[in-house]
A and B are shown apart, each in its own frame.
Chain A
C-alpha cells in the first residue's frame, strides 16, 4: 500500500505517534553530529545527516544498558528486579544499511539455545520506518554488501523523501497497522514515478565495486598473511570504528554497586582495545594490533559469514568517515581480493 505524507503534516504525524508509542529517531547533538535517541517532541527529529555517528543499533542495543538491579537486604539474600518495556516503539528515519545491520545483530542475539531478552524484547515491540537515501555518500557501499540505498528489507514502513512530501510504503503486517492514518493520502502515479526516479538515481550512485563477493573464502587463506603485519600499522587502537559500526555487537558486563544497592550493566566493548582480550593472568591472546585488526576484519568477513551465511558489514561507511587515521575498510577488501604479484600488493596504506 502506498501513500503520500505531506511534510507540512509531518510534525503532526509524529505528535500522534508520540501519543501511543516511544519514538526513536536521529537527533542532532551539535552541528554535524547526530545519534538515534528517544524523542520527546517532533522538533527534535533531524533526518538530514545521512549516517548519524551512532547507528540505529542503539535503539535495540544501547551503548550502556542496565540488565537488572539488585538490593541486598540483610540475610534474606538479594532481590533482583528487571526493567520492562512499557510501550510499543517506533524507529523512524533509519537508513537501509542500519536496518540491515539490525537483522545481522538479531541473528546473534536470538538463537536456538539462548535469546538475549533485552534485544529481542525491543526488537519484537518496535515498528521500523525506514528512509531511503536520496543522496548516498562517496563512502557508501551498501550495494556491494547485498543492500542498496532503497533496500526495503527489514522496514515495516518505508519513506522516500519527495521534496515536499514523503512517499510512504506499508510493507509488513506491522506496517499495515498504519493503513488508517489521517495524515496519509493515497499516492498517485506521479508520486510513484518520482519515487522510482529518485530510487534509480541513488542506486546508480552507490559503489558496487567493493569486492565483498567471495571474501569469506579468500580470507580463509589469509589467516597468517603478512598483510596483517602492515594493515594494523596505522590503527591507533581506539574504538571509533567498532562503536560506530551498526553491526558490531560485542559487550562487556560489569557490576556497579554502592553499599547494598547495585546494578548489572552491559556496555559496548571493542576488540580493538588491548584490554578487551587481556586475561587476569596477564596473558593476552591478541597481544598486538596485528591480531586485533585481524579479528575486526575477519569477524565481519569470515567468522560471521561462516556462522550466519552473510558478511557482517552493510557498507554504511562510518568506519571510513570517522576513523582518526583513515583506515579504509574498502581498501582492505580490495587488497584481500587482489591477485598476488599484479602490483596491488603494496597498495594498502
Chain B
C-alpha cells in the first residue's frame, strides 16, 4: 500500500522575495529523485502540501506551469509557523512535498473559449500557472482571447513583475494591471479590481472567468461578472481552506458534501451556490 501521507523529497534550488513588503517568497523546487520527477504530472490549479519536518505541513497552489518541466514553483505568504519556516529555509535544503492534489482548473471545459483571468494580491499563484500554460506555443491555440486583470494594493505588491512585463509586450494576451495606490513610476491603472473590470467590460460571449483573490475582492467582483452576463457555470474560483491531509480524509475542508482538497480547490459558482456558505 502506498502511503499518501509520506512527502517526497525536493531540493530548494532558488528562492526569491517577490514583493516590497518582503512577505512573499517564491521557491523553486527540484526533485531529488528522478522517478518522482517522471511521475509528477499536474494541471494548473492543483496544489501540494509542502512540509518542513519539525514545523509541519501546509497547502500551496502550484505557481509554475506544467510546461516548466524541471522545477516546481510556489509563492509563500509569510503568516504562520510553516510559512515562516519556508521563508527562512536556504537554497540547497530539502523540502518535502505531497501532490499534486485537487482537481485543478477545468482546462477541457476552457478549450476553444476566451479566458478572463481576474486576480488580486498574492492569490495570483495558480492563475500565473494557468496563464503561463496557455501562453506556451504548444497550448496557445487551446483557448482564444486571454484577458488578465490583476490588482494589488501597491505596485510593489504585484507578484512576478518581470513576467508581467513580458506579457505586456505580447499581442496574444491583454493584461490590465491595477493598484489601489500608484507611485510616480506606475503606468497601469489605479482603482479596485471590480471597478477596473467594469471599466474594461470584457465580453462574456464564449468566455470563462477565473477569479482568485481576497474574499472582499471576490465579493465585489462577482456582481460585476453577473452584470456582464457571465453565467454561474462559467465563473470559476479556487478556494482556500485549512486543508491538512489534502486527500479527503481529515475532514477539515468540507463545504457541504464536497471537500476543497479533493473535489476542489476549483469550483464553479454554479456548484458553490448549492452549498452552505462555509467558506
Contact = CB atoms under 8 A, between A and B. Distances in A.
A and B touch in the complex (CB under 8 A): yes
Interface of A: 67-68, 70, 72, 75, 77-78, 80, 82, 108-109, 111, 113-118, 120-121, 223, 249-255, 257, 262, 264, 266, 269, 271, 276-281, 283, 285-286, 291, 294-295, 298-299, 302-304, 306-307
Contacts of B187: none
B202 interface: no
Interface string B234-249: 0000001110110111
B262 A113 contact: yes
B71 to A, nearest CB: 18
A313 B53 CA distance: 36
7 contacts: A78-B94, A117-B1, A250-B250, A252-B244, A252-B252, A279-B241, A280-B80
Contacts, number: 122
Given A70-B53, A108-B249, A298-B256, 6 more contacts: A109-B249, A249-B249, A266-B250, A285-B241, A285-B277, A303-B254
Smallest CB-CB A-B distances: 9 pairs: A257-B54, A250-B251, A303-B257, A306-B257, A114-B247, A77-B94, A280-B79, A280-B80, A114-B4
B1 A120 contact: yes
B250 A113 contact: no
Given A68-B6, A280-B79, A303-B257, A250 B252 contact: yes
Interface residues of B, number: 39
A254 B279 CA distance: 23
B231 interface: no
Interface string B74-113: 0000011001000000001010000000000000000000
Contacts of A271: 251
Residue of A67, A82, A114, A286 most packed against chain B (CB within 10 A)? A114
Contacts of A111: 248
B3 to A, nearest CB: 5
A307 B257 contact: yes
B56 interface: yes
B104 to A, nearest CB: 14
A117 B247 CA distance: 12
A120 B250 CA distance: 15
Q: Which of B32, B51, B251 has the most CB of A within 10 A?
A: B251
A269 B252 contact: yes
Contacts of B250: 250-253, 266, 269
